[in-house]
Structure 1
Amino acid sequence: MENESKEPVIDYQYKALKDRKSIRLLYLHTSSSYHQLPIEVSLCEFPIDACPNFSALSYAWSIDDEPVPSFRELLCDGAVIRITKNCEAALKRLRRPKQDQILWVDAVCINQADLEERSLQVLLMRQIYTQASWVALWVGDASTDIDEESGLPLSDLGMDYIHDFAVEIAERTNSGQDINQGPLYQEFIKDRQAFQYSESKVFTPRVRGLWDVFHRNWWKRLWVIQEVALAKEPALLCGLKAEPFHNLKVVIEALIRSAQPVEVLEYNTLFIAHTFHQFHVRHMIETGRMSTISPPGVKALDMLNATRNAQATDPRDKIYGILGFFGPPATDPENIFPDPDYKKPAAELYADVSRAIIVNTKKLEVLSSCYGFFKSTVPNLPSWAASWNDTPMQYFDGKIFNAAGSSNVVYEDSDDKLLMRIKGRVVDSVKRSGRIPESIGYSNEACIELWRYWWKFASALDSYPTGESVVDVFEDTLCWGSSLDYTRLQPGDNKESFDAWLKILIGADDTGTAAKHIFNGGESFKYAHRATSVTWGRNMSITDKGYLAMVPIVTKAEDKIVIFQGSKLPFIVRTEDGVSKLGGPCYVRGMMDGEFATEDAQAIDELEWFTLK
């Protein structure tokens, strides 16, 4: 029975840390009952280089069904520290009956009300998680859904499935047997087609349990990525079950290996999508891919892009939450970040980091995900600063293009930190853009209607400036010149699937029938699958010089197409009163491989300065 105290209590008063290199450790006191409350702890300060043996907790502050955290009380030396319900659940799980557990838990060990302390403690995350003898990856309590046959929570079945699946994979690999034919692998994929048309309830109880574990809120959070990647011995905890992270790695790597049919691989990838950040970044660390990358700024951009879809309550943490992958700026040339400062507005921080990447790399790759015509979740964000707090709208790899040739950025400092001055060349203007409905949902039927309109729009071109057929240009443009794996399309790629797609698209079928025929998984679906991702948030335009362009959806007639020095892509730019706004990258067949590049020194001097806001 829970023993909740009703006596009035006072809030715990944190004492200032004695040193910039000190941390607090939490002594989680014993309890004879798992359910006993309140949880009792003590806090002790130690120099980071002279800590006793301790473990660390990785958890999400809130849980899936609780978007606004409810708070619980932790009793620390007779006073109260408020923690979230999920943190309390994790501490109950880790509490021992006979011996205190020494832990580092961010919500308790850092005075969250002290912005200066928070800023300094962020710099110590790398040492904390690499020094911890063990890191508990707490994804939450056992699920409330119970398997009728076994009487067990589905999440318990999912955790057991991870263990058994990892054993099966290892045994079949060691004996030279095909992993695809293993009973547990077959159980995993057998309901994949039914899943496309319904929810996860089509799965067996064990696979449903795996889905439950893999879709906990913990997997979505930004901070846990470095906590996993830097940990010596991470272990996944769900309810009373625990599993070494290594076993999860074995399972995930088996599911996303390329030696399986594309349609199966896509299903597997969708199933484990929430977990991808943790495995991807830890793999980058383990394989040494992140040890040294030149020039400075490249690693920073790679890490920001790799963690971009993860969530953080404070947008500044999209930067500060990856600093653990870098050493101090004085000794690590790859660390181009400003010191953590929670008093600095997110817009200014994002601008500082974007500028630092540009100045250090001398390239504009960071601009490839900037869509300044769209409202960012970061107030007052400049159009040229990447919004790492928003889901990118790329669906292509900018590195495979070369619009500005081998040129480097031509940059000039500005007194205003929210302005960027760079040189570029106006190569064309938007003559007209395709008509967009007042509201558009990207359902299969909506895509068919849009594509049919774009086909008629593009077909108005009698010829193309490069001498290619308009049909070939249209096929290429609607895929942003790249394939599903973001490699560059080669002549003849997609030909069979495009022809099948186009035949249905321009046929006599109504929208619903055409959608069924195109999206039924046949040959036409292969092209539609790629085109769909590029369609989101974009429009098709025709330029003054007769080029076909894929542009940001809110692009207007008379917007300029600019190739900046050091850029891989052309950009849509809108200028008013001498100040320009970056609309975002565009794809223009015939401008992507240096056809309009400026590399002669005299010509560069004559290029136009753009002041981007």
Structure 2
Amino acid sequence: MDEEILLSPTEYKYAPLQGLHSVRLLTLHPAASYETPIRISLREVSLDASVEFAALSYTWTTIGGDCSLSKCVECDGAIIKTTANCDAALRRIRHVEIFSNFWIDAICINQSNDDEKSLQIPLMRQIYRKALWVPSWIGEASCTLDEETSRPITDLGMEFLHNFAIELQGSKDSGQNPRHGTLYQEVVREHKAFWYCGVAAFSPSVRGLWEILHRPWWKRLWVVQEVSLARSLVLICGSKAVTFDKVEMVIDGLVRKHPGKSDDEYEFCANFVCSAISHFAMRDFVKRTQLQSDCTSGNGGPGQKAIRILDSTRNLCATDPRDKIYGIQGFFGDPQSDPENIFPAADYSKTAADVYADVARTIIIKTKTLDVLTTCYGFVRTVPDLPSWAPSWNHTPLEYFSVAGFKASNNSYVVYEASGDNQILKLKGKRVDVVKHVPDIPRTLEYNHLECTRLWRQWTDLAFSLQSYPTGENITDVLLHTLCWDNNTVFERLAPGEYRKNFEAWLNILQSSNPLEAVAKDLFEDEMAYSYAHRAEFLIWGRCLSTTVNSHLALVPMSASTDDQIVVLSGGKLPFVLRATGSTFKIIGPCYMHGIMDGEAFPKEEAAEDLESFTLR
């Protein structure tokens, strides 16, 4: 039979689904060995009926980046082509003797039918909530072997994860500080060496854990929805499996601020779990809210939950940019009954630009704030024809600070004017300054320590060229707050005196007469200076320091130029750099301008009729 299929394959023909709540379930036939060819059957069932099944969570792409339909699965005498990673997952989850039911998107949805996809996507919330369990396949075991045992390091990592979770649970139950645990210390012991040596600084078990937590599966957008909605999850890597509650325990144990945990240790731990943090945060969010909004009361109305989820999933990947919107709709109920569901129905006939613009406009109108615009940068346009005021949700934002701590427009509400043009957004605000001088854009965006040091020297020279500052503050103090966006490593506004000694050490080294290479080395090796250098390093990419006509310092997007306007828009927590293009403006991006971040340039009594109208395109 297998030879006949390989010689003369017949493509499986999907029959149209008959019911509005219908899905196809895949029955996976048992096999005696991993190598046995895969056989399945498909049948239509209603989600309203009592039916038992599991729903697979996986990524179409292999670890090596292969997403081609290179494998064949026999389905009712015909062939369905699938990816190598899906094929591997099917081989790992099938039983030796028992037929088992699964829902797997690549096979159970006719991927060549956009109309069917548009109808099936709203059902994914129900599918993953109804599934008895969700096997989460992150790929085969690592090809990297431990030199001592010759075992894949991911096998060691899965065992380490299991034992680490038990250690953390024991610390929690006994009220002990988890930082004192043996396995916790094994993870963080080389946290400083990691920044220079990478994963080579770790033991084989910790290196295996790192690889597990940084597999491509964690970067797939659809996975967040699947993980967050599932009742029971099991993480599977090769032949090893661990329940997801242990994964959650490890992530929580690493990112939590325990007594004695320094900022650099906290930052290392956050980096260690960065790929998995979105899944952890969203699963925790769903647990606490039971998929009901807790964001409307006192937080600007419907739309805040949408912003939170969109921001939490910004770093995740979707092949189709429209899925950055459609792929999170499972977190919301029916639009008729859930006021937080402000999203358009999935419609693959619309362009990504139209979908993104529709969502951005709706969020602005619903929340009456401009929080959604704070990740708009003029030089980040990853979607054709996207208006400058619509975020590129398929691109990683440049934020390394908390927007919530600022109130440039004095907690005012948006003043929105309808335009009838999907490409235009009309808002009101107040011009507060004009960009005067912006240093040359660096020739490279690969900011190693040497390049950071070169830019900082250039920027400090520019800052100290000011004779005085409009607020009366010392230029040194202004520079301290500006270069780190007035936020510390846990994204809170700086407390009085915070970073003072670190900044002074940083500035003394930076302004020394030593060669640039020696200064760069000292900035990142001196313990006192390193704390500020490492914080400011996060803000340097995509931005530059500028002066303004009114002698302010402003950290602006790197695409800003002389004569760009600095505007506080009503409803905005941050000021924005706008560029006039005829009678309209483009958003270049948000900026930090010391002295206006708490509403000093936007009086509370400012009446809407006294504000200027800005037409953004």
User: Normalised by the size of structure 1, how large is the TM-score?
Assistant: 0.96
The aligned counterpart of 1:417 is 422
One-letter amino acid of the structure 2 residue matched with residue 513 of structure 1: A
SS in 2 for 1:305: helix
Whether 1:262 and 2:263 are equivalent positions in the alignment is yes
Change (3 A) 1:509 1:104: same
Change (3 A) 1:438 1:213: closer
- For residues 161-218 of structure 1, the C-alpha deviation after alignment (integer angstroms, 9 at most, x for no partner) is 1111122222343344442232222322233333332242342222222122122110
One-letter amino acid of the structure 2 residue matched with residue 300 of structure 1: A
Post-superposition offset of 1:370: 0.4
| 1-structure distance, mates of 2:444, 2:254 | 38
Whether 1:94 and 2:99 are equivalent positions in the alignment is no
1:32-47 alignment, distance < 5 Å: 32-37=32-37, 39-47=38-46
The aligned counterpart of 2:221 is 222
SS in 2 for 1:143: coil
SS in 2 for 1:45: strand
| 2-structure distance, mates of 1:204, 1:469 | 48
1:392-471 alignment, distance < 5 Å: 392-471=397-476
- Point out the more displaced range, 44-53 or 87-96: 44-53
Change (3 A) 1:165 1:491: closer
- Point out the more displaced range, 76-85 or 147-156: 147-156
SS in 1 for 2:24: strand
Post-superposition offset of 1:482: 1.7
The aligned counterpart of 1:182 is 181
The aligned counterpart of 1:609 is 613
One-letter amino acid of the structure 2 residue matched with residue 364 of structure 1: L
Post-superposition offset of 1:428: 1.4
The aligned counterpart of 2:328 is 322
| 1-structure distance, mates of 2:291, 2:131 | 21
The aligned counterpart of 1:348 is 354
Change (3 A) 1:593 1:28: same
- Runs of 5+ consecutive residues of structure 2 not aligned to the other structure: none
Post-superposition offset of 1:416: 1.7
2:481 aligned to 457, 476, 481, which one? Answer: 476
| 2-structure distance, mates of 1:313, 1:44 | 28
The aligned counterpart of 1:359 is 365
8 A contact 1:464–1:547 mirrored in 2: yes
SS in 1 for 2:7: coil
8 A contact 1:159–1:242 mirrored in 2: yes
Post-superposition offset of 1:412: 1.5
Whether 1:565 and 2:570 are equivalent positions in the alignment is yes
Whether 1:308 and 2:314 are equivalent positions in the alignment is yes
| 1-structure distance, mates of 2:597, 2:15 | 58
The aligned counterpart of 2:553 is 548
| 2-structure distance, mates of 1:312, 1:583 | 25
The aligned counterpart of 2:530 is 525
8 A contact 2:380–2:392 mirrored in 1: no
Change (3 A) 1:201 1:365: same
Change (3 A) 1:350 1:224: same
Whether 1:595 and 2:596 are equivalent positions in the alignment is no
The aligned counterpart of 1:276 is 277
8 A contact 2:267–2:489 mirrored in 1: no
Post-superposition offset of 1:290: 6.2
| 2-structure distance, mates of 1:83, 1:132 | 22
The aligned counterpart of 2:252 is 253
8 A contact 1:565–1:598 mirrored in 2: no
Post-superposition offset of 1:599: 4.6
| 1-structure distance, mates of 2:59, 2:12 | 23
Whether 1:383 and 2:382 are equivalent positions in the alignment is no
8 A contact 1:290–1:299 mirrored in 2: no
8 A contact 2:503–2:532 mirrored in 1: yes
The aligned counterpart of 1:133 is 132
8 A contact 2:225–2:327 mirrored in 1: yes
One-letter amino acid of the structure 2 residue matched with residue 44 of structure 1: R
The aligned counterpart of 2:583 is 578
- Point out the more displaced range, 497-506 or 157-166: 157-166
Post-superposition offset of 1:4: 8.9
Change (3 A) 1:176 1:440: closer
SS in 1 for 2:462: helix
User: Normalised by the size of structure 2, how large is the TM-score?
Assistant: 0.96
| 1-structure distance, mates of 2:562, 2:341 | 41
Post-superposition offset of 1:114: 0.7
8 A contact 2:67–2:84 mirrored in 1: no
One-letter amino acid of the structure 1 residue matched with residue 435 of structure 2: V
Post-superposition offset of 1:75: 1.1
Whether 1:11 and 2:11 are equivalent positions in the alignment is yes
- Point out the more displaced range, 195-204 or 19-28: 195-204
| 1-structure distance, mates of 2:532, 2:324 | 34
- Point out the more displaced range, 337-346 or 590-599: 590-599
1:97-112 alignment, distance < 5 Å: 97-112=96-111
Identity value in percent? 45
Post-superposition offset of 1:607: 2.2
| 1-structure distance, mates of 2:351, 2:525 | 48
| 2-structure distance, mates of 1:597, 1:85 | 57
| 2-structure distance, mates of 1:597, 1:332 | 35
Please give the root-mean-square deviation of Cα atoms over the aligned residues, in Å: 1.7
